[in-house]
A and B are shown apart, each in its own frame.
Chain A
Amino acid sequence: MDMALILAKANYWGYVILLLIGLYALISKNNLVKKIIGMVIFQTAVILFYITIAVKKGGNIPITPHGKGYVVEAANFMNPLPHVLMLTAIVVGVATLGVALALAIKVYKQYGTLEEDEINAMIREQ
């Protein structure tokens, strides 16, 4: 494991770390909004993973020049497909965030707190 290997896959390591941070927050945080924040981090980590797939060294952004007789050399441009997929994933992420926050507001109206242990204690008392 020399420095070059770590650097060559830097984004993959980074995505694993972010994924784990998000997963940890989702599972073990007590506050509901904190869990939602963990969820966003978790989803974004996967998007980072996809974008990393698309990178080609020395590549350009995937907007092809279009002069007469211009031949596109595919190795010079980033892979556009993961970008397309991730546009969808980002939008799905914000949609999930909206619904999750709506539910969190409903929970707060019901119990007056966002801490899961306090809510569970209240449910047990009923």
Chain B
Amino acid sequence: MKILGWLTVLMCGALLIFNVSEFPDMGDANSPANSKQNLSEYFLKKAYHDTKVPNVVTAVLADYRGYDTMYETAVIFSAGLACFFLLRIFRKKGPKSRFYRHTPTGVTLRIDEGGKLPEESDVFKRIDSIWIPHDNIVRITCRLVVPFIQIFALYVIAHGHYSPGGGFQGGVLLGASIILIAVSNNLRAGIQRMSEKGAALMGSAGVLIYAGTAALCLLLGSQFLNYNALAKLLHIKPVVARYNGILIVEIGVALAVMAVMVWIYYNLSSAGKHDEGL
């Protein structure tokens, strides 16, 4: 296997390096990809005029090549489905024994199978058998940081038209905030904030917002994804309709990405049991 690897690498390396010398130099504004008569020029000059979005990347992402981005959302959604499908185990077998901490005294109780389980409350906290994060500094710091992350995420989504950012980045940040809760407390704390079913439905809803907006344009008599069609519905100018269409779509993307990231994390971190995990 080692020799095969070296052989492939050497062959590919020789081919690739041989070709690098034919490339235009880095930063060459006149290379075919960047030159005047091509797409780069068109997007930079016309994107603001067409959509009223100064961030050209957002405009191209959600409008000119919005069809790609719809499938990008579908890719992430299928990854969520795939992780669930491969890993999730619904059997309620669980580990043989459960562990609880009696908070006032700090005593850890082990309750074997068949024993009476205490009610989950402030006094009795269930803890994991392998991973016991009970560092107050970590927990409280994370709890303090989470709202700020979420507000920043919302800013990133809403302000993606004017600055770097957009649905993906914001969605991942939102998802990360919930993952942070799950990491700093335990998995069940995360699941309390966003249940598995909630994550799954929200993922569907996100993709549905995107594809639904696009299909709505089709039903209104225009091409698929052509936000101009929304202008009649919303009583606004076509350019503004494109601007708003991009915003709606970005919200859908953010919703889907957030939910799916959390969903994948639940399945990976507990190997599908959703019981104990990182």
A–B direct contact (CB < 8 Å): yes
| Contact present for B69 and A105 (CB under 8 Å) | no
Q: Could you tell me if B40 and A79 are in contact, using CB atoms closer than 8 angstroms?
A: yes
In the docked arrangement, what's the CA distance between A64 and B258, Å?
29
Main secondary structure of the interface of A (DSSP, over half): helix
Interface centre among B27, B39, B168, B271 (most CB of A within 10 A): B27
* Cα of A113 to Cα of B138 in the assembled complex, Å: 32
- In the assembled complex, the Cα of A23 lies from the Cα of B11 at a distance in Å of 11
Instruction: Please indicate the chain B residues that have their CB under 8 angstroms from the CB of A91 in the complex.
Output: 72, 75-76, 168, 257
* A98 x B268 contact (CB < 8 A): yes
Q: How far is the CA of A10 from the CA of B5 in the complex (A)?
A: 25
A111 in contact (CB, < 8 A): no
In the complex, per-residue mask of B31-42: 1 if CB is within 8 Å of any chain A CB, else 0: 101101001110
On whether the beta carbons of A62 and B264 are closer than 8 Å, the reply is no
Closest to B39 in A: A81
Chain A, residues 18-57, CB within 8 Å of chain B (1/0): the string is 0110011001101000000000000000000000111111
By the criterion CB–CB under 8 Å, are B16 and A28 in contact?
no
Size range of the chain A interface in the assembly: 35 or more
| Size class of the contact patch on chain B | 35 or more
In this complex, what residue of B is CB-closest to A79?
B40
User: Does chain A have a CB within 8 A of B20?
Assistant: yes
Which of chain A's residues has its CB closest to B79's CB? Answer: A95
Q: Is the CB of B5 within 8 A of A99?
A: no
Residues of B within 8 A of A96 (CB): 79
User: Per a CB cutoff under 8 Å, which of A11, A65, A66 touches B26?
Assistant: A11
Q: Within 8 Å CB of B231, what residues of A?
A: none
Residue pair A105, B87 in contact (C-beta under 8 Å): yes
Residue contact A24 to B9, C-beta cutoff 8 Å? yes
A45 to chain B, nearest CB (A): 10
CA distance A88 to B253 in the complex (A): 12
Mark contacts of B1-20 with chain A using CB atoms, 8 A cut-off: 1 yes-contact digit, 0 otherwise.
Answer: 11011101100110011001
Q: Is the CB of B20 within 8 A of A13?
A: yes
Asked whether B13 lies within 8 Å of A57 as measured between CB atoms, the reply is no
Interface of B with A (CB < 8 Å)?
1-2, 4-6, 8-9, 12-13, 16-17, 20-21, 23, 25-29, 31, 33-34, 36, 39-41, 43-45, 47-48, 54-57, 60-61, 65, 68-69, 72, 75-76, 78-80, 82-83, 86-87, 162-164, 168, 257, 264, 267-268, 271-272
